[in-house]
Amino acid sequence: MIAQVIQTVAVGAAGCALAVGLWQGWGTLAVLKRAAIAYLGFFILGSLLLLLVRSARSRTTNGKGRSGDPAVA
């Protein structure tokens, strides 16, 4: 679910960079490079944020299962 949101935001950022670059009249190669950088940047930052959230969530469970029940030792 969250991975799909990250992918959508990254594609949206690349689309915005592409549209603005073409509107500004920049060269095609420059626009494609900027769109690729925008896509990769947003994808990498979103993925790192997702990893941080998942690691923080796993640290807060402290051995509890998904349902919140204490783990049987």
Q: Which of 27-31, 41-45, 64-68 has the lowest mean pLDDT?
A: 64-68
Residue 48's pLDDT band, with cuts at 50, 70 and 90, is very high
Residue 13's pLDDT band, with cuts at 50, 70 and 90, is very high
Provide mean pLDDT across the span 30-58: 93
| Dist CA 12 CA 5 (whole Å) | 10
Residue 26 has pLDDT above 70, yes or no: yes
For the entire predicted model, the pTM comes to 0.71
The DSSP H or E segment spanning 64 is none
